[in-house]
């Protein structure tokens, strides 16, 4: 499974990339707005720190304007993927952008039928939002399972990019279901690495080692700082 970072913060993205597990980035208008920066500038900066697809979302609502905006966004860098919302305008824009060999990511998907239509239109990626469904007591990962099955049934090349991931369970379930990509907020990457038994085991290894070392008079040992 590919892992994308869901963020428009260059420092957070660069730090995540340094871990060696990041394959791309997704942004959205809210994430860009949080950075208070021009989208073209920020998308270019992101493309310079990650070697992979970078989703940049249009903010126009008519299909012709989406196509124009998408062409401008794709001109920023070869890795730019143009994000459009699911809907009639979004699908018309996907068709036109595909004719120009511009990759697209159809976003704000909340049921398998929307994903199927986006794949039929030629989207490069579909972004089912699992967390926002969970937030209203609907099982978001069941939607992902249905999308993965439908795409396998008909050999769609459109990639399932699981988005709105809130926790490690979403991430793990996406991998178990065979989703192509999970896009996750930077803090979740670190959360996925943590386990209390890892911390306890490391502390014991080092304690045993240093106690042994000090008993072999290899110099005074100072206990490590409290693991946070």
The residues assigned a catalytic role are 83
Which of these segments, 73-81, 93-101, 125-133, 174-182, binds ligand G3P (CB under 6 A)? 125-133
Question: Should residue 28 be labelled a site residue for ligand G3P when binding is judged by CB under 6 A?
Answer: yes
Measuring CA to CA, how many Å separate 127 from each of 39, 185, 195, 208? 20, 15, 29, 48
Q: Hey, is 26 helix, strand or coil?
A: strand
Which of these segments, 61-69, 128-136, 169-177, 200-208, binds ligand G3P (CB under 6 A)? 128-136
Measuring CA to CA, how many Å separate 59 from each of 79, 82, 119, 162? 19, 11, 21, 21
Q: Which of residues 129-188 bind ligand G3P (CB under 6 A)?
A: 129, 131-132, 163-164, 183
Cβ proximity to ligand G3P, 110 vs 204, nearer residue: 110
Cβ proximity to ligand G3P, 131 vs 178, nearer residue: 131
Shortest CB 28 distance to ligand G3P, Å: 4
Cβ proximity to ligand G3P, 52 vs 210, nearer residue: 52
Question: Should residue 7 be labelled a site residue for ligand G3P when binding is judged by CB under 6 A?
Answer: no
Nearest 10 degrees: Cα torsion 37, 41, 43, 45: -110
Q: How far is it, in rounded angstroms, from Cα 86 to Cα 115?
A: 8
Shortest CB 195 distance to ligand G3P, Å: 24
Measuring CA to CA, how many Å separate 40 from each of 4, 47, 115, 153, 217? 19, 11, 28, 38, 61
Question: Should residue 110 be labelled a site residue for ligand G3P when binding is judged by CB under 6 A?
Answer: no
Give the count of beta carbons closer than 10 Å to the beta carbon of residue 167.
15
Cβ proximity to ligand G3P, 30 vs 101, nearer residue: 30
Binding site for ligand G3P (CB under 6 A): 6, 26, 28, 129, 131-132, 163-164, 183
């Amino acid at each position: 499974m590919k892992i994308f970072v869901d963020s428009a913060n260059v420092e957070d993205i660069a730090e995540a990339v340094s871990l060696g597990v990041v394959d791309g980035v997704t942004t959205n208008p809210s994430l860009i707005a949080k950075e208070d920066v021009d989208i073209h500038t920020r998308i270019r900066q992101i493309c310079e720190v990650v070697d992979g697809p970078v989703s940049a979302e249009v903010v126009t609502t008519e299909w012709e304007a989406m196509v124009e905006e998408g062409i401008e966004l794709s001109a920023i860098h070869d890795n730019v993927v143009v994000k459009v919302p699911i809907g009639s305008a979004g699908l018309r824009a996907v068709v036109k952008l595909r004719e120009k060999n511009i990759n697209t990511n159809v976003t704000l998907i909340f049921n398998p039928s929307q994903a199927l239509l986006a794949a039929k239109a030629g989207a490069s990626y579909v972004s089912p939002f699992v967390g926002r469904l969970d937030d209203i007591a609907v099982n978001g990962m069941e939607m992902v399972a249905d999308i993965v099955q439908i795409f396998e049934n008909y050999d769609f090349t459109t990639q399932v990019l699981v988005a709105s991931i809130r926790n490690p369970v979403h991430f793990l379930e996406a991998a178990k279901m065979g989703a192509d990509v999970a896009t996750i907020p930077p803090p979740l990457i670190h959360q996925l690495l943590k386990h209390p038994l890892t911390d306890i085991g490391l502390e014991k290894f080092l304690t045993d080692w240093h106690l042994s070392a000090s008993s072999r008079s290899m110099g005074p040992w100072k206990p490590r700082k409290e693991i946070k």
